[in-house]
Structure 1
Amino acid sequence: MTTSPPRVRGRWAARGRHTARVGVVALATAVLAAGCAGLPRSTPVVQGQAVAGAQDAGVRIIPRGPVAGSDADDLVTDFLRQGLGADDDSSVAREYLTPRASSQWQPDGSGWIYDGPEALAVKVTAPGTVVVTGRVSAQLDREGHYSELPPGQTRSLTLRLVKVGDQWRIDGGLDGQHTVWISRADFGLYASYPITYVTPDDTAVTDRRWFLQGPGLVTRLARAQLAPPPTYLQGAVLTGVPEYTDLAHGSVSVEGGTARVVLSSRALNADDRNRRRMWQQVTATLTAVGGVEAVQLEADGARLSVPGLPDRALGAQDVDLRDAEPPTGPVLLRSSAGLERVDPRQLTESRSRKEARADGPPLPDIGPEWYRLASSADGTEIAGLDGDDEELARWREGRMVRVRGFARDLTRPAYDPGGYLWMAGRTDAGTRVLVQPTSDLSGRAPVAINVPWLSDRKVIALRPSPEGQRVLVVSEPSGGGPSTVGVAGVLRRDGRPVGLATPITVGGGSTDVTDATWLDAETIGLVGAVDAKSDQRVVIAPISGPSQVLGAVPNPTSITTFGGSRSIVVTTRRGAALVRSGNGLVPLVSSTSDFVVPGH
């Protein structure tokens, strides 16, 4: 981990001006239940005081009960709309149900997202039986994570209806049904917000989730922040919130731009360091909402005091969390002439490599038998593989260290900011994720860490995140099949990687993924097909959110970036490096087999 002194995060300092990813959709008759996505089902929703700004976002929550005389299919269609944002206490939605069905229905905030009315069919198949079938493109989990689904996915639901008096009501088919149906238009009523966690050196790790807009948004965000980290981050990030801490008053009030968060007495169990983290996390998260400029934390009738923090409500400018530093500086190009260091911003097809050359540590003489190169962030070490993907070579301080026989089908090496080299490969015992301290030049083989969910899969690509507490993994079944992209937290013991958490799926709408990389701390760039008939394309895939598909790429071999999503570079089998230009890619340099961004 870096030991540089903390700096005030520019992103946090601008929280009051933060623009959430909001899709504004005008709904003439929005029929919503006042629940929430992204919250544990067992926690009741208590509406907090409304504040101006993104919390309202032009959304009016107008639940509508059953229309008298509705046919069975119309009643079911209306019920599905009532489920938007539903929780256990969605009283209006329950008016469509008999008491028996109401006791069975336990929505948890998750939802299937379908693209429009034509994607959803509601059909009466027999008297009192209605079948709902939908083509779904994404889903929200109960915590509010948005995950795209592979093309062509369908979901169905069979409901039984009875007449109560002379009106249809749903009487069965909801037992065990926790997920509601959300149209793409209605999903525009949601926006994404970062839930904030930290690393041991006070680097922020954000977990972006989607919440239904409207009154009570700040309360929903506060509850999400107080809950334990999600599964894919558990054991990899820190939270200052003691277990079972909740809102003492059931809601968060906002007055004059200050959110007053009154915590249960369990918050007092935190020591000073964790109390500071609590302030950092809650302030960073809640000031992401327009209209919230500061946060006041209280517990047991008094301000939650922390030595060294100002004795007042804290704003975004008071949060001293670090951003993970993205790769900057020169890149390495590999050609028949060897390695050269260049400034990619000075590199164009009309400008020679010589004119773009940059200074840096001496570069080793790497023979043509080594490829799939990687460089440490400081440029002092380079790693690569042989042509059979079975031997690792490292060049450091004028030395070359070779290690062979520890695995086959090795992935491109990658460096994390904490001083470890990562890769994956196949052994007789199955697939293994392998790590080695960069300080170890003994020639010993990298050590396998515990990743049981990869044992029967082949890893295609693996990259540590900018802060080093998460890893991006592209894998496919060992016997062949669709590839998947996942992000998993890194489990450490005394700073040493020992395992990976269960991953969250990213970019699920893409198939045949050949490579992926981190574009920033929240976004993945990948090359893959978006349907069975398409060419390989560049896809910008947030860890939680809809993807953006860019232009086609002929025969891609790798993807990287030297400056976020605007500076994506893809290399091809013909030795070209293409750089993003608008929604397409244009030539940047030719005759290069490796385009290496140090530390990426």
Structure 2
Amino acid sequence: MPVTGDVKAVDASQPGDSQVQVYAVAPRDGATPNEVVDGFLESMTSDDSDFRTTRQYLTKRASNNWKPGAVTTVLAKAPNRSDRPIHESDRSTNEVSYTLTGEKVATVDDQNAYQPLTPTDYSRTLQLVRQNGPDGKEWRIDLVPDGLVLGQSDFKRLYRSVNKFYFATGRSEAQSTLVADPVYIRNRTDPATGMDTVTQAVRSLLRGPTDWLRPVVASRFPAGTGLRKGVTSLTPDDRNVLKVPLDKKADGTGQRSCRMMASQLLFTLRDLTSARVEQVELQRSDGSALCVLDADQAEEYAPDGSSGGPDSQYFVDAKGHVERIPGSTRGSGEPERVAGPFGAGSLKVSAVGVARDEQTAAALSQHADALYVSSIAADGELPVPAVTSKAGREENRLTAPSWDGRGDLWVADRDPGNSRLLRLAGGTGKPQEVTVPSLDGSRITALRLSSDGVRIALLLTNGDGTTLKIGRIERHGPQGKEKASVVDLRQAAPQLVDVTAMSWSGGSRLVVVGKEQGGVQQVRYVQADGSTPSSGVLPGVNQVRAIAAADDEQLPLMADTVGEGIFKLLPGDNWQSVLKEGSALVYPG
């Protein structure tokens, strides 16, 4: 506790420990309008049950109409109120109004979905009236917008990001894999529902996927399934078994579907409890067991690459050949050339993309004007190019290729005269052009596919800046002849004005290299929904031109730098040099 120095005003929204808890305080007798507004704003940052204390700042009519769960508006800092009422005729008036202002950076809707926004001005009005109270006249808020208004630091203290999981559509049951759908739920207890964190996550899962992801995923829970009435707390027992009582909608579910439902739950709850949930028991409405599933059994539906996935790294050596750093060495094994024309042939390559089964790779020619696909597990001749670009300048030709979890190969031609996104189903055959209707004049300069095959990360250049956007991949038509389109692009790193490299890092997270307005290059994590984790910024490394991350977050992050070679970063460590000569390092995918 400092005993000297200046006295400073403390903003109600200060960055701090997420364990700090704010307790709501009721308005004092004779509170001025200023005190009522300030008390109401601070009370919104508490865990006040059903916002009972917060509602004491409202008139009875406003309290009945106010819906705090409708939307959460996130401002860069705590909302500012006007210093004095904006409508006040004289001291004896019975009505006054205040303006709340700030810089809006995001919203969280009633589905718990986070939506980042380009910073915009926020302005709302609170109207107060003087009414009769038990102890005489008292000021209360009579007109209030629905939802909560929080500064970023309070939002990060009160909410946490959780991945709930659904099955990718358009795949056979034997190929069913789970897809992460990130949402934000309250830490500790949700004031509106009284549910603890685990129960909130289960309830959100049962309510179905968020609107953005809904067209490409499905839940195995029967439509309308909910928790048994009155359930507000779900806690694993001393054997780490979690019993989940469901309502009548799920009573008739078959064993296969029930096991898939339990898998959705197990993956959703992975990071929510202090000890891993080892088993889930789903219960019928009468309390009898519907099915039981162990965590190890749920791995059958693991998101592609998240369980026992490939951990080797591949790069282009100084002679233009593809080499492999064997898996299980955490990036420190002895490199070896791959088999086939990319390892021993005469072709010099500039970039490589390796299929997730590590049997096939796609490589760009030295000047990025041709894409070749060949085995890296067996010797063979160099095939004819699968894709070519006619652009005159190298930087306007083909992007580095990427493979999705379905085994399809993706590449973009950056030719200003014929810019296009291409997909080779199964990595073979004639390239199919993929429509991207919401590019708005931007040009694709880099791409990476998620392991689940339903999302694509794109670097889009328009003018001087390059931004990162995530698109949803929708497939239409019969299997084998389906056509794909990328729709509903959304910002993934709105705070960065110039992104130079990115890579998926797990089911719903990316690592990006970029700059903020007027800032220096930084390496940071971002969520696929555009939010930034509290520990998002990573240690710096100079002049990064490419970045590679694995689906397994325990594997090292790899950075390709200008003139210094390739570096690796293990969790909790600093950057270490791996290769002085080499470039374009990638993990499979």
Could you state the TM-score of these two structures normalised by the residue count of structure 2? 0.75
Aligned match of 1:580 in 553, 569, 589?
569
Q: Unmatched 5+ residue regions in structure 1?
A: 1-21, 32-63
Higher relative contact order (CA 8 A, sep 6+): 1
Does residue 167 (structure 1) correspond to residue 130 (structure 2)? The answer is no
Cα deviation, residue 319, structure 1: 3.4
Cα deviation, residue 513, structure 1: 0.7
Report what 1:471 is aligned to. Answer: 456
Which letter does structure 2 place at the counterpart of 1:159?
L
Report what 2:164 is aligned to. Answer: 195
Does residue 523 (structure 1) correspond to residue 509 (structure 2)? The answer is yes
Q: Tell me, yes or no, if the aligned pair for 1:569 and 1:580 is still in contact at 8 Å.
A: yes
Report what 1:384 is aligned to. Answer: 363
Report what 2:216 is aligned to. Answer: 236
Distance 2:144 2:195 in 1: 31
Deviations 1:177-208 (A, max 9, x none): 44432551464243343322234434333334
Q: Tell me, yes or no, if the aligned pair for 2:410 and 2:421 is still in contact at 8 Å.
A: yes
Aligned match of 1:488 in 472, 480, 483?
472
Change (3 A) 1:438 1:548: same
Change (3 A) 1:315 1:596: closer
Distance 2:57 2:447 in 1: 48
Distance 1:399 1:146 in 2: 47
Report what 1:48 is aligned to. Answer: none
Report what 2:101 is aligned to. Answer: 133
Distance 1:107 1:429 in 2: 51
Cα deviation, residue 412, structure 1: 1.7
Change (3 A) 1:384 1:542: same
Report what 1:60 is aligned to. Answer: none
Change (3 A) 1:332 1:502: same
Q: Tell me, yes or no, if the aligned pair for 1:395 and 1:401 is still in contact at 8 Å.
A: no
Deviations 1:131-163 (A, max 9, x none): 22234665544333456666x665332322222
Cα deviation, residue 66, structure 1: 3.0
Change (3 A) 1:243 1:356: same
Q: Tell me, yes or no, if the aligned pair for 1:234 and 1:501 is still in contact at 8 Å.
A: no
Could you state the TM-score of these two structures normalised by the residue count of structure 1? 0.74
Report what 2:273 is aligned to. Answer: 289
Deviations 1:208-265 (A, max 9, x none): 4332212512432222011121233223333101222223414255477365544333
Which letter does structure 2 place at the counterpart of 1:123?
D
Does residue 357 (structure 1) correspond to residue 335 (structure 2)? The answer is yes
Q: Tell me, yes or no, if the aligned pair for 1:146 and 1:545 is still in contact at 8 Å.
A: no
**Aligned with 1:219: secondary structure?**
helix
Q: Tell me, yes or no, if the aligned pair for 2:456 and 2:471 is still in contact at 8 Å.
A: yes
Report what 1:30 is aligned to. Answer: 23
Which letter does structure 2 place at the counterpart of 1:98?
T
Deviations 1:257-284 (A, max 9, x none): 3655443333246554323222222344
**Aligned with 2:218: secondary structure?**
coil
Cα deviation, residue 382, structure 1: 3.2
Change (3 A) 1:68 1:549: same
Change (3 A) 1:455 1:108: same
Report what 1:595 is aligned to. Answer: 585
Does residue 512 (structure 1) correspond to residue 498 (structure 2)? The answer is yes
Q: Tell me, yes or no, if the aligned pair for 2:402 and 2:449 is still in contact at 8 Å.
A: yes
1:341-490 correspondence runs (5 A): 341-343=324-326, 356-358=334-336, 360-364=338-342, 370-385=349-364, 391-396=370-375, 397-402=380-385, 403-404=387-388, 410-425=398-413, 432-441=420-429, 444=430, 446-454=431-439, 456-476=441-461, 478-479=462-463, 481=465, 483-486=467-470, 488=472
Distance 1:560 1:330 in 2: 9
Which letter does structure 2 place at the counterpart of 1:588?
V
Does residue 561 (structure 1) correspond to residue 544 (structure 2)? The answer is no
Q: Tell me, yes or no, if the aligned pair for 1:262 and 1:299 is still in contact at 8 Å.
A: yes
Cα deviation, residue 105, structure 1: 3.6
**Aligned with 2:505: secondary structure?**
strand
Report what 2:55 is aligned to. Answer: 94
Q: Unmatched 5+ residue regions in structure 2?
A: 1-15, 89-95
**Aligned with 2:312: secondary structure?**
coil
Report what 1:264 is aligned to. Answer: 247
Distance 2:365 2:73 in 1: 45
**How many correspondences in the alignment?**
525
Q: Tell me, yes or no, if the aligned pair for 2:98 and 2:126 is still in contact at 8 Å.
A: yes
Cα deviation, residue 415, structure 1: 1.2
Cα deviation, residue 24, structure 1: 3.7
Which letter does structure 1 place at the counterpart of 2:166?
Y
Point out the more displaced range, 222-231 or 241-250.
241-250
Which letter does structure 2 place at the counterpart of 1:393?
Y
Change (3 A) 1:254 1:465: closer
Q: Tell me, yes or no, if the aligned pair for 1:332 and 1:341 is still in contact at 8 Å.
A: yes
Q: Tell me, yes or no, if the aligned pair for 2:473 and 2:484 is still in contact at 8 Å.
A: no
**Aligned with 2:452: secondary structure?**
coil
Cα deviation, residue 84, structure 1: 4.2
